[in-house]
Amino acid sequence: MLRLSRLTGDFTLEEKVNRIFSLFSSPVGAYPVISTQFLQSLDFALGPSQEIVIVGDKNDETTVEIIQLLHKKFLPNTVVLFLSKDGEGNRLQKLSSFLNANIAFEHKPIVYICEQLSCKKPIRKVEELKKLIDEL
């Protein structure tokens, strides 16, 4: 539910998750070893967490390289969105309110690394993305 909140920008979902955390805090505190998924969610909620938005053509070689790079790295507190230039991208923009304000299409793939739905400057080079991902 937290990831869905970050994907869509719907913070009412995060409020629901916070209530769940409150309800289950005592049992999880008593038995943390059997509550690993819950604790991972808590870690994600407490942050920091990032949203990585890839904007490009899914058939472009650089776009594919970017996606493969992200798949190789373990990023448990990161939500990745792929915004394609075709009709699928339009559907995602309708679901995710923060994409409309922050994202621009260009001829080459662009990557945005965002935190709390606020995006840093666009990344246009794979080498630069590699450095930034290593810092996450």
Is the pLDDT at 91 greater than 70, yes or no? Answer: no
In sequence order, what are the beta bridge partners of 56? 84
What is the CATH topology of the domain spanning 50-135? Answer: Glutaredoxin (3.40.30)
Q: What are the tens digits of pLDDT across the range 46-80?
A: 888 898 989 888 888 999 999 999 999 999 899 89
The residues spanned by each domain of the chain are 2-46, 50-135
What does the alpha-carbon distance between residue 83 and residue 54 come to, in Å, rounded to a whole number?
A: 6
Taking the whole predicted model, whether its pTM rises above 0.85 is answered as: no
> Is the dihedral angle over the CA atoms 7, 13, 14, 18 positive or is it negative?
negative
Q: What is the pLDDT of residue 82?
A: 87
End-to-end alpha carbon distance in the chain: 22
Closest CA to 9 of 96, 101, 91, 102: 96
Can you give the pLDDT at residue 72? 92
pLDDT digits (tens, 9 = 90+) for 8-45: 778 899 899 999 999 898 999 898 888 888 989 999 88
